[in-house]
Structure 1
Amino acid sequence: MRETSGSVFDYLAKDISALGTFHSRKSGVVAAYGDVLHAVDTEGRPTVLVPIGEPKDGPQAWRSKSLVLQTVNLDVDDGKMPFVVLRCIASNLNHQFGLLVDDLLDAIEVEPDRAANVVSVALDRWRNLFEGDGGGVLSPAQLAGLLGELTFLGELVKVHGPAAITSWKGPQGSRHDFVFAGCSVEIKATTNHNNMTVTIHGGRQLDHPDNGDLYIRAFQLEPSPNGVSVPEKVEELIAQGVSRSELLMALRGVKYNYADSLAYESSRFVLLTQRSYLVDDAFPKISSENLVPRGMIDRLGNISYSIDLGQLEPIEHDARNVQLASLGGS
């Protein structure tokens, strides 16, 4: 198994060159024109060097607040060779850059003859993760809610495979967290160990979807040093085959910045219980469908209310009961 790029960059940074050159090491991945190199520059900034055929074959140079991309001729054993040089200039994103490089190396290993194009494609997947504003750190309550969503996503992946991430629509601004071919699922979490009271935000959150029924999956969690953290759940999903870049982009949509993972390691939760509920006509709710007179919901602001789900009858509904919308069916 190849050593992670992050650990290689940490090792190389211990011996920074003072000669104005890169301190580099072979990555173990070979492109059509030679070895792809891990490197650090004279300031210890992590860099990947990808050999290409001609300078014009490399992607167009650009610079942002986090990344620098250029094509330069570097000295090699038998003269000079053009390399695509990608480096991270934001030290708080060094770990995230290591993940980008791991993804890049995996792709070059599959298509060594198209290394320059592979760099461009990888950057298209990762660039937004580096350029977005980090925002504030999530609260424990927000982390508990996110852990509930990731736990349900993990159940889906076990049944439907890594493509299940396409059903997670909440990070894209959808009304409901998960959308399937024949239903939608809203995830709720509470850290109150005495009851399963959850908060509903907005007058439309429990509106029925256009594609069928609406379900609530509720998680009752308890803070505990022996529990699971969101960063652990993220790595678990990646180990299950979920695309790292797709997952991190979705997390960005819920204001979770991967660069803050260390800050979230201590926020851990154990699962006390989880239950599912059908949001039907008998379910207590405020929605555009039951507000009188109809059509007035958008004139009411700041709607937020709590429901004690422990007083309601749960149903059996899990990942096996849904069909990914991308696969059709119901």
Structure 2
Amino acid sequence: MSTGYARVEHALKILGARRPRIGEAVAASIGPDRNMHEARLAKDHLGIVHLIVSLPAGRSRFAPPLGDVLPAKWLDEDFEDGVKTSLDVASTDPSLTPTFLSLVGEMLSRVDETDDPCIDELMRVLSSWREALSREGRTLSRQRLIGLFGELTVLARLAEEDPVQAKSAWRGQAGYRHDFFLSNALEVKAYTGTDSPSVEIHGAHQLDPPIGASLHLLTLRLEESPAGETIAELIERIDALGLPKGLLFERSTDESPIASDDAVAFVVAEERLFQVSSDFPGVRASVLGAEALTAVSRLRYSLLLDACPGRIDADLLPAVLENL
């Protein structure tokens, strides 16, 4: 018996060789040996892939917990032995179809092991995937909070000296690639942990100095501590220094969200300051050239701090901030 994933691949080849008429779909059976038609993979005339799973006799319909990402509906289908009910789950976003097909393969493999109905294993797989995605979402949220804490920490230091300059320097013009820029630029990265410290670099321009200007990279190692400061407290302190909270939230974007959070408090345990010169490592547009990056998007990579040259005394940070 072939694996669930192999049956999915075979079905895709069958569907790829057929062209459904407008308003119709073509299907290939992928169910277990006991009933190959219990699960089918289908493709409609728009190219949307569907998973159609039979509801066992005597079972009642239910509201599938799938949401908008994988829209689902119940079907009543006519067969030689009567009308049967099936659940039709569609993958409407082409970018998510590979993930959807992997989910289908996992469902089929589970059915082979347990001999349970396909629809039951489908719900179990979806439940486990939702839990995994939820954990990932929480991790991403935490990473965003760590990055935001670092950025706001530097904003507060600037505001302590000159709120007007801090307002002008923070994020510069809309869409600018560095966190702080006037005549010179400063990129701020925050991280946690002590082993092999690294920070995430976004894109091929983040470590490129502005034309005719200098660029420094400041990294902050954060530790959770009840004696520390939360983002909500940072925002209040920045507001009191002359940068209204309204300004902060107006600067919020999907890529760089501003979120008032009082659940976690951090202290800055270590600061590293680097002068980003021509020999500084990283993927940079100025080195590779525009042609090499023509078809590249969403570039992100880790920069290992222990391997980076150009580190200077962190006590020089006030001068760097003054010379932005």
TM-score normalized by structure 1?
0.50
Tell me the equivalent position of 2:222. Answer: 221
Tell me the equivalent position of 1:319. Answer: 318
Tell me the equivalent position of 2:99. Answer: none
Pair 1:168 & 2:153 matched: no
Cα distance, 1:294 vs structure 2: 5.4
Aligned residue identity for 2:228 = G
Matched residue of 1:275: which SS? strand
Tell me the equivalent position of 2:275. Answer: 278
Q: Specify whether residues 212 and 252 from structure 1 end up closer, same or farther in structure 2 by C-alpha distance, changes over 3 A only.
A: same
Matched residue of 2:280: which SS? coil
Matched residue of 1:158: which SS? helix
Whole-angstrom distance in 2 between the partners of 1:170 and 1:194: 33
Runs of 4+ in 1 over 6 A off after TM superposition: none
- Equivalenced residue count is 183
Whole-angstrom distance in 2 between the partners of 1:146 and 1:267: 12
Q: Deviations over 1:183-234 (max 9, x none)?
A: 1111111112224311111122212212401111101112233321111100
Pair 1:310 & 2:311 matched: no
Tell me the equivalent position of 1:196. Answer: 197
Q: Specify whether residues 176 and 279 from structure 1 end up closer, same or farther in structure 2 by C-alpha distance, changes over 3 A only.
A: same
Flag structure 1 segments of 5+ consecutive residues without an equivalent: 1-135, 325-329
Tell me the equivalent position of 2:149. Answer: 147
Contact 1:162 1:240 in 2 (8 A): no
Matched residue of 1:233: which SS? helix
Contact 2:150 2:190 in 1 (8 A): yes
Contact 1:221 1:273 in 2 (8 A): yes
Cα distance, 1:286 vs structure 2: 0.7
Q: Determine which structure has more spread, i.e. the larger CA radius of gyration.
A: 2
Whole-angstrom distance in 2 between the partners of 1:271 and 1:290: 33
User: Considering only aligned residues, what root-mean-square deviation do their CA atoms show, in Å?
Assistant: 2.5
Contact 1:148 1:219 in 2 (8 A): yes
Flag structure 2 segments of 5+ consecutive residues without an equivalent: 1-136
Cα distance, 1:243 vs structure 2: 2.7
Q: Which has the higher contact order (CA 8 A, sep 6+)?
A: 1
Q: Deviations over 1:30-70 (max 9, x none)?
A: xxxxxxxxxxxxxxxxxxxxxxxxxxxxxxxxxxxxxxxxx
Whole-angstrom distance in 2 between the partners of 1:314 and 1:150: 22
Tell me the equivalent position of 2:74. Answer: none
Cα distance, 1:162 vs structure 2: 4.1
Contact 2:158 2:165 in 1 (8 A): no
Q: Specify whether residues 227 and 193 from structure 1 end up closer, same or farther in structure 2 by C-alpha distance, changes over 3 A only.
A: farther
Whole-angstrom distance in 2 between the partners of 1:301 and 1:321: 31
Whole-angstrom distance in 1 between the partners of 2:294 and 2:206: 12
Contact 2:220 2:271 in 1 (8 A): yes
Contact 1:221 1:272 in 2 (8 A): yes
Whole-angstrom distance in 1 between the partners of 2:272 and 2:213: 20
The 5-angstrom pairing of residues 89-104 of structure 1 reads none
Pair 1:295 & 2:291 matched: yes
